[in-house]
Amino acid sequence: MARRKAGDGSVRLRKDGRWEGRAVIGYDEKGLPKTKNVLAKTKTECIEKLNRLKEELGANAPKSKPGLTFGEWIDFWYQTYSKPHLRPSTAQEYESNIYKHIIPVLGKTPLTAVTTEGLQKFYTHLKTDGRITRRDQFGPGLSDKSVRECALCCKAALEQAVRDGLLRKNPAADCKLPPKKAKEIRTLTKAEIGRLLCQAKEEGFYEMFLLDLFTGLRRGELVGLRWEDLDFTTGELRVQRQIHPANGECVPKTAASVRTIVLPVSIIKLLEDTHKTTDSRWMFPSPVKEDSPRDPTACRKALSRILERAGCKYIPFHAIRHTFAELCLEGGMDIKTLSATLGHESVSTALNVYTHVNDSMREQAAAKIDRRVARGGDCDGGQPETGTDTADPAKSAEPPAFEPYKGKIRRRGTGCVSRIGDDLWEGRYSPRNPDGTRVNRTVYAHSEEECEGMLAEMIERVKEERKGSPTS
């Protein structure tokens, strides 16, 4: 996609299907841009409207005032351009990066004085000594992921400054960032699942964690379930909302996350018994707030406590979702069904993130290879495994022993014989002429033995002919 030049404004597709164009029409007393937007049904129409808006402004468009700092600009960029389009949890991460890490260090730097070298030093500082809290636990530096997230905010803000005509070039474009590493996926073993559920029953979280292990719901989706979402007759569970830890907002994550999952009979019976003893519309109500679901953060802390008491390795709450996916793949579920069950917008997400291979899968694959290949390669005619149907005498008859074919090494100058049809064999002899060229001589027969005899006779004739030749 072609990039728009500095000062041309920005064009984007909104969630409602319309195209929005935005251009700078002036600057306030701080030097921050004032923008105006245009809306259209198509991108072409939107660009035309944006160009007309720029023509109306013409040379009278006011210029930015000097002295605008990077801290003022990135705050303006986040509040105006970025925050309205972010999910609450993502917005919380952006605010932590901008207001805790970026502005305290780079906030007073003039926007026009931000350089690639300065940003590179800032990223190095974050990596070596940028952690604010829990330094004793995790060390003085931020993780590679956190550094990359801060760099993403800087780069996006500066890119918008280029589009608004405040900068000629984005200084963050040439910065070198820590490598993006694949995150290690840790899931629960079957023994750990048993200990987890046993401890969860002791602490009143048995139904919650058992349901999550059977459905792979996100943490917010799990605590956002209401009894009206479950049809006890059909066993269909409708997932249609998610509680966000950031602000308690109760909306689905994406359109694909609204889905229906069919529960097994044992889980339905357990939830039915739980419903009789629960006086709340929420499936997992808060123990401290009336008519409210459990707090997602409290559930995360409860899982950590239960794992420690059950003698299990630590995993984040989302790893239960990975454990569910792993169990489904072990059970033979296809990737498309798994993706729909997990509520992904694309099958590629399940392929790239959730289809990790564990030791059990490797053992099963090795066992299948052993059954299909290794045993089939035994010299016993490929006898059926124990437990196959032997009622038919024809099937139960022991096949003859199989002798593998051992290739013959032909002597030089004896040609070659090959089968070219069901009952047709070809013998070929290609002697070298004095000038270095070769001429193919062939014979054909209906059996290998006949072809070998005909080839030997032909070779003798050719040798006799070559002896009597004047050039031999």
Q: What are residue 301's phi and psi, to 5 degrees?
A: -65, -35
Choose among 71, 39, 261: nearest CA to 158. Answer: 71
Most confident range (mean pLDDT) of 22-31, 48-57, 224-233, 240-249 is 224-233
Q: Which residues pair with 427 in a beta bridge?
A: 417, 443
Report the alpha-carbon distance of residue 93 to residue 146 in Å, rounded: 10
The 10s digit of each residue's pLDDT in 3-28 is 555 556 678 888 778 888 887 777 77
- pLDDT of amino acid 369: 45
Q: How many CA within 13 A on the CB side of residue 60?
A: 4
Give pLDDT tens digits for 412-462: 888 888 777 667 878 888 888 877 788 888 888 888 889 889 999 998 888
- pLDDT at res. 392: 42
How far is CA 375 from its chain centroid?
Answer: 36
Question: What are the tokens at 103?
Answer: 């502005």
Q: Which of 65-69, 316-320, 378-382 has the lowest mean pLDDT?
A: 378-382
Cβ atoms < 10 Å from Cβ of 343: 22
Q: What is the pTM of this model?
A: 0.53
Beta bridge partners of 438: 432
- What does DSSP say about strands 416-421 and 424-429: parallel, antiparallel, or unpaired? antiparallel
In the chain, what's the furthest Cα-to-Cα distance? Answer: 114
Output DSSP code: residue 469.
S
Alpha carbon distance 149, 93 (integer Å): 9
DSSP 294-360: PPHHHHHHHHHHHHHHTTPPP--TTHHHHHHHHHHHHTT--HHHHHHHHT-S-HHHIIIII----HH
Query: What local confidence, expressed as pLDDT, does residue 208 receive?
Result: 94
Amino acid 471: pLDDT: 54
**Rounded mean pLDDT of 181-200?**
85
Provide DSSP, 234-297: TTEEEE--EE-TTT--EE-SSSTT-EEEEPPHHHHHHHHHHHHT--SSBSSB-SSSTT-BPPHH
In this prediction, residues 158-187 reach a mean pLDDT of 86
Please give the structure tokens belonging to residue 225.
């379930």
Say which residue, 398 or 169, is predicted with more confidence.
169
Domains parsed from the chain with CATH numbers: 1-65 (no CATH), 67-180 (1.10.150.130), 190-359 (1.10.443.10), 416-468 (no CATH)
Local confidence band at 354 (pLDDT 50, 70, 90 cut-offs)? low
- In this structure, what token pair is assigned to residue 162? 């280029």
Average pLDDT, the chain: 80
> Which residue, chain included where needed, has tokens 């251009």?
23
Q: What pLDDT sits at residue 75?
A: 94
Does the pLDDT at position 209 exceed 90? yes
State mean pLDDT over 174-197.
86
Task: Look at residue 380 and tell me whether its pLDDT is greater than 60.
Answer: no
Residues in the chain: 472
Question: Is residue 74's pLDDT more than 90?
Answer: yes
pLDDT value, residue 352: 65
d(CA 97, CA 99): 6
